[in-house]
Structure 1
């Protein structure tokens, strides 16, 4: 049953399946018993009957009192004939209306009853019909999905948001079908939120925003997959920018960079009593480059960024960079400096983001650094303040074609 989502509704969806009409009670045939019940409910008929009986009784008593057989015999007979004529006429009308109602296609109640019930019947048909249409929409949509005629998950989410927040109103059948398809397309999110999975409709638009944001975060990587790029898994410990850049470098450049920074890397490994992460070589290169005059202005200008650890000099900046995950790398500062030092192009690929205030926002590719002598181009992705490595794919191939 469907008790939640719309107050006061309770609909059996098993019976409202596609192709199955809402059953109605079969019509009842006219009968003398039905005629008697209808006359009993007719106040005018009951008044005439009571008046006839009373008149007959009074006339008979008068005839007996006057000792006149003509009066006490004829008066009741005349009264019975009059009553019989009236009720006979009413019976003809009753049976004629009932039989005509049975002959009309789709009419299941008598004409007077239909007239009284027309308003309520119309409202009920509209409400149940809306839910039935929503159920049929889901079935037809499933059939379309099986035939391959579908929209992408990202297109569906954009349409979903537009339907709820940009439309003046949304029909009940559309709301039910959209919400059901949302659960079908993104099951992992609803497995974690069983209380939402049991709903058939959103409670309000705020809950809708919360769910869309949660779904997008849960499927962020899949939703931002493009035929041109492939986003890769990247460390999520505050060093994501360096790990993303490191994954894009060719093995030859990685080996050469590690050799140049080997002594410092060994010192770091001894201090932390553990094996160092190879991408720490990029941090060492960055700290060495920070002493160059051409980078000082870029580093100092961005020293007071909100939500970042602030610094007042290059001497304060370098220890922050070397802290493990404490100071997050920025693509337009640390990423740009490293790209220039390595002589590689760096591109931040576009994609979709979602915020509760702006909704879905599409970012275009941003060229962070370009060089005519660049050995290759590195691609990185950023979403929800997390950088990921990315590979550019050849058309019709899943192999990446850009590594420095």
Structure 2
């Protein structure tokens, strides 16, 4: 049996296992075991070593810490403080408070690392406030559903940690590489809102009374604790004061201090955040363990190398490969969550990307942007579920409201692909080489 036929059979087996409802981690491990049996007499030894190596690394310890930090902040009044602190400065820009959705999601995403948590937390305070003031509900829902995806693009991000571990690249480099694309996405979202507001003046409420500069500053003082936490976590990594894991531990401590100062740190909230973080972290690590064994099995069978050679033989060119991968990931996003998309494909895709000459840090940001698109792609877009729950609207109604912002994300993907060094890899290369 040739390797490409074997790869197809293994893919069919994986689809059958997933379709039967078997856990993703166990499906990955089962397919890896079948592949390993064909090339090694003792696959169980590789299974044990792969599980231990993938979950016992010091680098991966950053994952549960960042998850816990987000869970703690999810239970504070941070979203309310962000909205109140940003709102005074947006009242003279076309679209006014709709821009607060984007900025608040970007800032909260920098401390939560989760798309769904960012979307739910900011929507909880923003939607009722925007509805009360008379803003267009459709545009508000679309901006919140898509801006929530900034939680996985603005570092520190859980998805970025998963990719960095799976692809064996520097977590700090991937984090820093996400800043400029994150700013571009926020800028594109705001630009669309400005154009929409200028074309639809009747769908906006009357301008609010002017505020003095001093009053604006007093309201913005609510942003100080959050900005200090972001600066502490990100700055400690950029300036080499802490590793990603140490910075994550600092972030947990800082979030506990913030929760304590705002009076939201109770025994119940503490235990709830710890339980939720443990559940999420265990789920992700179990998936990573199964993917690690599958990756090791694939390497021993030689399937990734054979696929890479086949793709090279097609002479698609670098951009042809990227176009195909974009379609594949958007298709996967209709049925899988972001973590599963990454760990399911890493063992096959990384050799192809390296053979095409792409930087793996750039490819990490590329995948994160595609996962953002997947978050608002029916029928399994997580942010669509969140907004459906928050608003009571049908999923397709939320999806159509998100469509203009979806197109802005597509533009961001195109820009980062055409200008990879300028927009993605240039910043980490500059900061970490000093």
TM-score, normalised by the number of residues in structure 1: 0.19
Rg (Cα) greater in structure? 1
Q: Which has the higher helix share?
A: 2
Q: Which has the higher strand share?
A: 1
* Relative contact order higher in (CA < 8 Å, ≥ 6 apart): 2
TM-score, normalised by the number of residues in structure 2: 0.18
